[in-house]
A and B are shown apart, each in its own frame.
Chain A
Amino acid sequence: MRLFTLTFKIFIGFVACAIVAELILSLFPVATGFQRDTENFPIRHWKPDSNYVYSNGWNFRNAQKGSTNNYGFSNVKDYTKNGAEILLIGDSYFEAQQVSRGNTIEDVIQKLSNKNTYTISVSGSALPDYIKYLEYGLKEFNPKQVVVKIFDADLVGAFTTEYPMGSYFVQTENSFILKTTEANLTNFKMKNFFKKSSLLRYCLINLKILEQIKLAFDFTDEDESIEPDLELLTKKLKVYLSVKFKELNLDKKSVLILTNHETLFTNLATDGFNVLNIEKALSKIEDNTDYSMNFAPYDYHWNFRGHFKAGQAVNRALQGM
């Protein structure tokens, strides 16, 4: 009984300290992540018209505030049906939580091209999700030009089934088959509920504690991990995209594929595909300007300068198409 009382008192001390931490953290820009939408929707997206805070690391670096629009994508402007002239499809790179609104690649392209530019980009997406976004975006927004981000990580991560409501590829001999997992709305509700706590958000989003635990206790030898055959995957992707574009009645010439990898670039830049190696384009701008810091420190996404330069490069490529 004495042990029970002692343990209980220790627990109360622990909880009291956690409550103090909760209160203190609520004064700081703890990352909120996005609210998940608990209504059914054809593709992954966030809760429409909700606010979010982005900050990186334990000391809230690069704090940014933003909101989602009427379709549930991170954007200050609402979308209208058939309203896009240029549609960007991608993940966190295009979603751009890391930069202030007005400085994202989408904003830069819109400013430079003077064309209505939309983006369907959700962090944590990979290539199979982009295909779903493409199907949806073409039907809903009827753009004249489309930019799809396909970095090596998008292709390598195309086979994972772990994302909620995410799509994934299954490989066949020559191509891929697209599959989608169903949305678990109860799980979404639970996540939204837990996100109300600053302390939990701090541990899970700012500190990325689950990923860190996994990393800290992962003793697999890096040399033993199997390198994916990017060459073969790219060949299969080309077959898949050719069929998909035909199926969607999409002219290859109106699509710009944005990549960061030479293998992807050389294999895709044939048969009428427009491909831009953004890494090379950024280096070229760097050579002319002597500025090389394109990434947010400790975050590995483009910073405002990266977005500005990438927007310039993409706009130039779109004009030449």
Chain B
Amino acid sequence: MLFNAPIFLFVFLPIVVAIYYLLNSISKNVLIGKVWLILGSLFFYGYFNPSYLVLILGSLVFNFIIGQYLGKKTGNKPVLYLGVISNLLLLGYYKYFDFFIVNINQLTGSDFALQRLILPLAISFFTFQQISFLVDAYKGKCKEQDFLDYSLFVTFFPQLIAGPIVHHSEMMPQFAESKNQSFHYNNFIHGIIIFVIGLGKKVIIADALAQYADPVFNAADAGAKLGFIEGWLGSLAYTFQIYFDFSGYCDMAIGVALLFNIVLPINFNSPYKSANIQVFWRNWHMTLSRWMRDYIYIPLGGGRCSEKRVLLNVFATAFISGIWHGAGWNFVLWGTFHGGALIIHRLWSKLNRPLPKWLGIFITFMFVHVAWVFFRAVSFAGAIEIVKSMFSIENLSTPKFIEYYQTATDLFVAPKYFESIQGLYWVVIAVIISFAGIWSMDLAQKFLKYKKNPYFLGSLLFLFLFIGFISMGSKYSAFIYFNF
């Protein structure tokens, strides 16, 4: 189920929230409310394809049992390895098996059959979350005796599909807190405000930009030659599409969780304003970066080893982050670029010659922007075509949008890939909001001052319905991070 789908907005969410508090109010036993939340979360997960439920339930049971072993006896390394490797094998099978076979076939000329597996929803997220649980249990940082609590930790639907990737230790105390079982007006209104902001970002900005990014990337992947302006506008449209798509998703996840009095960690904090690539990664998908730091970078030695080794650790972490996003050479390249950029940043920092902030922001944004081309393009040739068009001044010409061709005499000269000049307007709007806008959490705090004003509540209700309707009218596309 998608956060922006009408079935979620107008049926699932109101029912789950209402019954959750109803159950908690009529029963002193918190267990019933928890069971209801788990059932709701499993319904949410299995809505598109119930067969995925077997996988997530199997994974839950397996990791819970391993976690029990690890909790009973500290330092049980073989059991930890068994747990971590099993999780990685499951993820690897579904996510990377076909990619691996394709490359083996290409390299050796063999003809191994592809499995053509459909990636189970959220597998990358719940696998990482459970690996962190196992490692934390091994280190004695967390202990879980209750299967229901563990199930809720993994399946809690606001964070299940695309994060934030949460730690057991930051979620379970919140679920256990008795005052969180009852309805809190403040949290409820705060949640709705953040949710509406996120829904607006996704539906109004990200989906609008997708309409202008997709034709350019599709054309490049199909072998079309692009001009300078098309290359830039298409790539910028995607750069801001993914920004508002993911930022919108994170806001919506935080907003929905707040309806249940659960505070999810912040996952996105104006990353395009970052003055260097390291800060960018501290502000983009913050919980994934935290996971990578805690479970890859630090175990590899982190920053407490020789400079060469530190650089290798930095690169390896970024590289793994790249391939975590998907199985394809484009993701490998994207991770490599970011790894390289982090190394350059580290080496530059050692020189102690800081750049002016505006220049740092500009360079970081431009690098991230060009790297997104490789992330988005389906084929390597498509990505190269777009990048080539962006840096070929000889291709510079007055952009001609569909509006121009509708009045032209030779109708066959109209390009296939650029729809409308409106795409340019959307990019400008996105630039203004991302660089000069207020962070959603601050914006929500400003609105929260009016939480007791009934006129404000009426307006909030209108906005919720109106943006919900827009979502319905724009055919509610899936979030980009749902693919990972």
Q: Which of A36-44, A130-138, A210-218 contacts B (4 or more CB under 8 A)?
A: A210-218
* Given A99-B406, A103-B406: A207 in contact with B412 (beta carbons within 8 A): no
Contact A209 B459 (CB under 8 A): no
Contact B473 A206 (CB under 8 A): yes
Residues of chain A within 8 A of B414, CB atoms compared: 304-305
Q: Cβ of A156 < 8 Å from any Cβ of B? A: no
How long is the Cα–Cα vector from A160 to B473 in the complex, in angstroms?
Answer: 25
What would 13 more interface pairs be, CB under 8 Å, given A9-B458, A292-B416? Answer: A14-B458, A18-B462, A21-B462, A21-B466, A61-B211, A100-B406, A203-B469, A207-B474, A216-B6, A216-B7, A216-B472, A217-B6, A297-B419
Residues of chain A within 8 A of B462, CB atoms compared: 13-14, 17-18, 21
Name which residue of chain A comes closest to B457, CB basis: A10
Contact B473 A207 (CB under 8 A): yes
Please provide the 8 A-B residue pairs with the shortest distance between their CB atoms, ordered closest to farther: A13-B458, A207-B473, A13-B455, A9-B454, A14-B458, A17-B462, A212-B472, A10-B458
Q: Cβ of B407 < 8 Å from any Cβ of A? A: yes
List 30 A–B pairs whose Cβ atoms lie within 8 Å, in order of A's numbering.
Answer: A10-B454, A11-B458, A13-B455, A13-B457, A13-B459, A16-B455, A16-B458, A21-B466, A57-B474, A58-B203, A58-B470, A59-B211, A59-B422, A59-B474, A61-B211, A61-B420, A61-B422, A99-B406, A203-B473, A206-B473, A207-B473, A212-B469, A212-B473, A216-B6, A217-B6, A217-B7, A297-B419, A298-B211, A304-B411, A305-B414
Q: Cβ of A15 < 8 Å from any Cβ of B? A: yes
Name which residue of chain A comes closest to B465, CB basis: A14
A294 to chain B, nearest CB (A): 11
0 or 1 for each of A1-42: is its CB under 8 Å from B? (1 = yes): 000001001111111111001000000000000000000000
Contact B412 A212 (CB under 8 A): no
B interface majority secondary structure: helix
Residues of chain A within 8 A of B6, CB atoms compared: 212-213, 216-217
Residues of chain B within 8 A of A58, CB atoms compared: 203-204, 470, 473-474
CB within 8 Å of B: which A164-220 residues: 203, 206-209, 212-213, 216-217
Q: Cβ of A289 < 8 Å from any Cβ of B? A: yes
How long is the Cα–Cα vector from A193 to B402 in the complex, in angstroms?
Answer: 34
CB within 8 Å of B: which A121-176 residues: none
* A207 partner, pick from B11, B402, B416, B470, beta carbons under 8 A: B470
Q: Cβ of B208 < 8 Å from any Cβ of A? A: yes
Residues of chain A within 8 A of B457, CB atoms compared: 10, 13
Residues of chain B within 8 A of A100, CB atoms compared: 406-407
* Given A100-B406, A305-B411: A17 in contact with B458 (beta carbons within 8 A): yes
Residues of chain A within 8 A of B461, CB atoms compared: 10, 13-14
B411 to chain A, nearest CB (A): 5
Q: Cβ of B348 < 8 Å from any Cβ of A? A: no
B31 to chain A, nearest CB (A): 31
CB within 8 Å of B: which A293-308 residues: 293, 297-298, 304-305, 308
How long is the Cα–Cα vector from A68 to B459 in the complex, in angstroms?
Answer: 38
Residues of chain B within 8 A of A14, CB atoms compared: 458-459, 461-462
Q: Cβ of B171 < 8 Å from any Cβ of A? A: no
* A13 partner, pick from B5, B7, B203, B456, beta carbons under 8 A: B456
Residues of chain A within 8 A of B416, CB atoms compared: 291-293
Contact A216 B411 (CB under 8 A): no
- Residue numbers of A with Cβ under 8 A of B are 6, 9-18, 21, 57-59, 61-62, 99-100, 103, 203, 206-209, 212-213, 216-217, 289, 291-293, 297-298, 304-305, 308
How long is the Cα–Cα vector from A298 to B405 in the complex, in angstroms?
Answer: 18
Residues of chain B within 8 A of A291, CB atoms compared: 412, 416
Name which residue of chain B comes closest to A308, CB basis: B411
Q: Cβ of B292 < 8 Å from any Cβ of A? A: no
Q: Cβ of B368 < 8 Å from any Cβ of A? A: no
B2 to chain A, nearest CB (A): 11
Q: Cβ of B79 < 8 Å from any Cβ of A? A: no
Name which residue of chain A comes closest to B453, CB basis: A13
* Given A9-B455, A100-B406, A305-B412: A297 in contact with B211 (beta carbons within 8 A): yes
Name which residue of chain B comes closest to A285, CB basis: B412
* Given A9-B455, A304-B405: A57 in contact with B473 (beta carbons within 8 A): yes
How long is the Cα–Cα vector from A18 to B406 in the complex, in angstroms?
Answer: 35
Residues of chain B within 8 A of A212, CB atoms compared: 6, 469, 472-473
Contact A209 B472 (CB under 8 A): yes
A320 to chain B, nearest CB (A): 23
Name which residue of chain A comes closest to B459, CB basis: A17
Q: Cβ of B23 < 8 Å from any Cβ of A? A: no
How long is the Cα–Cα vector from A293 to B413 in the complex, in angstroms?
Answer: 12
How long is the Cα–Cα vector from A6 to B359 in the complex, in angstroms?
Answer: 52
B291 to chain A, nearest CB (A): 35
Q: Cβ of B463 < 8 Å from any Cβ of A? A: yes
How long is the Cα–Cα vector from A216 to B47 in the complex, in angstroms?
Answer: 13
How long is the Cα–Cα vector from A212 to B215 in the complex, in angstroms?
Answer: 25
How long is the Cα–Cα vector from A289 to B410 in the complex, in angstroms?
Answer: 12
Residues of chain A within 8 A of B466, CB atoms compared: 21
* Given A57-B474, A216-B7: A304 in contact with B463 (beta carbons within 8 A): no
Name which residue of chain B comes closest to A60, CB basis: B422
Residues of chain A within 8 A of B203, CB atoms compared: 58
Residues of chain B within 8 A of A10, CB atoms compared: 454-455, 457-458, 461
A283 to chain B, nearest CB (A): 15
CB within 8 Å of A: which B307-329 residues: none
Residues of chain A within 8 A of B405, CB atoms compared: 304
Contact A209 B473 (CB under 8 A): yes
0 or 1 for each of B394-408: is its CB under 8 Å from A? (1 = yes): 000000001001110
Residues of chain A within 8 A of B455, CB atoms compared: 9-10, 12-13, 16
Residues of chain A within 8 A of B422, CB atoms compared: 59, 61
CB within 8 Å of A: which B448-484 residues: 453-459, 461-463, 466, 469-470, 472-474
Name which residue of chain A comes closest to B471, CB basis: A58
How long is the Cα–Cα vector from A207 to B473 in the complex, in angstroms?
Answer: 4
B210 to chain A, nearest CB (A): 11
How long is the Cα–Cα vector from A11 to B454 in the complex, in angstroms?
Answer: 8
B457 to chain A, nearest CB (A): 5
Most buried by B among A13, A203, A291: A13
How long is the Cα–Cα vector from A9 to B458 in the complex, in angstroms?
Answer: 8
Contact B211 A209 (CB under 8 A): no
How long is the Cα–Cα vector from A62 to B423 in the complex, in angstroms?
Answer: 12
How long is the Cα–Cα vector from A293 to B457 in the complex, in angstroms?
Answer: 46
How long is the Cα–Cα vector from A18 to B11 in the complex, in angstroms?
Answer: 23
How long is the Cα–Cα vector from A155 to B204 in the complex, in angstroms?
Answer: 38
Contact B473 A6 (CB under 8 A): no
Residues of chain B within 8 A of A293, CB atoms compared: 416
Residues of chain B within 8 A of A298, CB atoms compared: 211
Residues of chain A within 8 A of B459, CB atoms compared: 13-14, 16-17
Residues of chain B within 8 A of A9, CB atoms compared: 454-455, 458
Residues of chain A within 8 A of B208, CB atoms compared: 59
How long is the Cα–Cα vector from A15 to B454 in the complex, in angstroms?
Answer: 12
How long is the Cα–Cα vector from A292 to B406 in the complex, in angstroms?
Answer: 16
* B458 partner, pick from A15, A99, A206, beta carbons under 8 A: A15
Most buried by A among B7, B11, B416, B473: B473
